[in-house]
Chains A and B, each alone.
Chain A
């Protein structure tokens, strides 16, 4: 943990190097609409990294999201989560965004580890 923390300070420009534990607390803000393993009001987050935006087959996305041609990675997520409505105008994700860049970095670190964990996302 402490090694991880030092690393995160050294390479703080890298969006995947946030603190996933702090990020899990930020993820509480997403839990009205999302879960990792199930589609709800928003699509599931398992398998998010490397996925094309709007591509979970049984989820009904907005046309805007489907046409966005975003591939989700730490950078595109950082951009989108700061201000979803301006990055994808017409999105149904009616959410102002996470404005604090450190919180976003923690959140993205959590999303990365959780969405690829074989326990949560079989």
Chain B
């Protein structure tokens, strides 16, 4: 366990707190009297809930779908690590990448919490195509497919977050997953960076 705190969680938490503050401020200007009355009676969280903006709800939904995909990636690397098909050096890299995905989940989950939502949990079981994993390259191809998909998932989430700071945080995760993808392609003997643009 590293004692250094990763940057993403603090960035995301800060983002979520800022979003909430901005939201409360906007709610305050729009419906001052109702907000002021509720604030004075100490019901700040009720104010936030009663006027919960759909854009915040939408950000929570986008974050939760990303968390769900990250949980699957963690389970997939677990499957790969336990398959007995990976050479020691490859196994080390796989475990490291899995650790990154776990950090993404922690960061995204704390953002969901700060926005007043509930982060989704991992499924109890994943229905992976285990029958297709017979050698190390099958595992690497499987992982590369998930990482390739993740790049697109974040590229597809970045433009639709209402909160631009969440977009920035998603971009930092996208960069990490793109690096995973390149390394896995390299390990498979493929051109690690086959194009100039990805979406």
Q: Is B182 an interface residue (CB 8 A)?
A: no
Given A33-B69, A94-B160 in contact, is the A38-B127 Cβ separation under 8 Å? yes
Q: How many residues of B contact A (CB 8 A)?
A: 29
Q: Which residues of A contact B153 (CB under 8 A)?
A: 32-33, 95
Chain A interface extent, by class: 20 to 34
Q: Which residues of A contact B150 (CB under 8 A)?
A: 32
Q: Is A85 an interface residue (CB 8 A)?
A: yes
B157 adjacent to A29 (CB under 8 Å): no
B5-13, B16-24, B57-65, B77-85 - interface stretch: B57-65
B145 adjacent to A31 (CB under 8 Å): yes
B156 adjacent to A29 (CB under 8 Å): yes
CA–CA, A39 and B153, complex, Å = 17
- How many contacts between A and B, using CB within 8 angstroms? 69
In the complex, what residue of chain B is closest to A95 when comparing beta carbons? B156
Q: Which residues of A contact B41 (CB under 8 A)?
A: none
Q: Give the distance to chain B from A60, nearest Cβ to Cβ, in Å.
A: 10
B145 adjacent to A41 (CB under 8 Å): no
CA–CA, A85 and B55, complex, Å = 11
Residues 63 to 122 of chain A near chain B (Cβ within 8 Å): 85, 89-97
A85 adjacent to B149 (CB under 8 Å): no
Q: Give the distance to chain A from B123, nearest Cβ to Cβ, in Å.
A: 9
Q: Give the distance to chain A from B185, nearest Cβ to Cβ, in Å.
A: 13
Identify B157's interface contact among A28, A31, A94, CB under 8 A.
A94
A33 adjacent to B159 (CB under 8 Å): no
Given A41-B72, A93-B65 in contact, is the A33-B149 Cβ separation under 8 Å? yes
Q: Is B3 an interface residue (CB 8 A)?
A: no
Q: Give the distance to chain B from A59, nearest Cβ to Cβ, in Å.
A: 12
Q: Which residues of B contact A51 (CB under 8 A)?
A: none
Residues 10 to 38 of chain A near chain B (Cβ within 8 Å): 28-33, 38
Given A32-B153, A85-B58 in contact, is the A39-B146 Cβ separation under 8 Å? no
Q: Give the distance to chain A from B35, nearest Cβ to Cβ, in Å.
A: 25
Q: Is B90 an interface residue (CB 8 A)?
A: no
Q: Which residues of B contact A31 (CB under 8 A)?
A: 145-146, 148-149, 152
In the complex, what residue of chain A is closest to B57 when comparing beta carbons? A90
CA–CA, A62 and B65, complex, Å = 11
Q: Given A38-B129, A95-B156, list of 18 further CB < 8 A pairs?
A: A28-B149, A29-B155, A30-B149, A31-B146, A31-B149, A33-B69, A33-B149, A38-B127, A41-B72, A85-B160, A90-B57, A92-B61, A92-B64, A92-B65, A93-B65, A94-B157, A95-B157, A96-B159
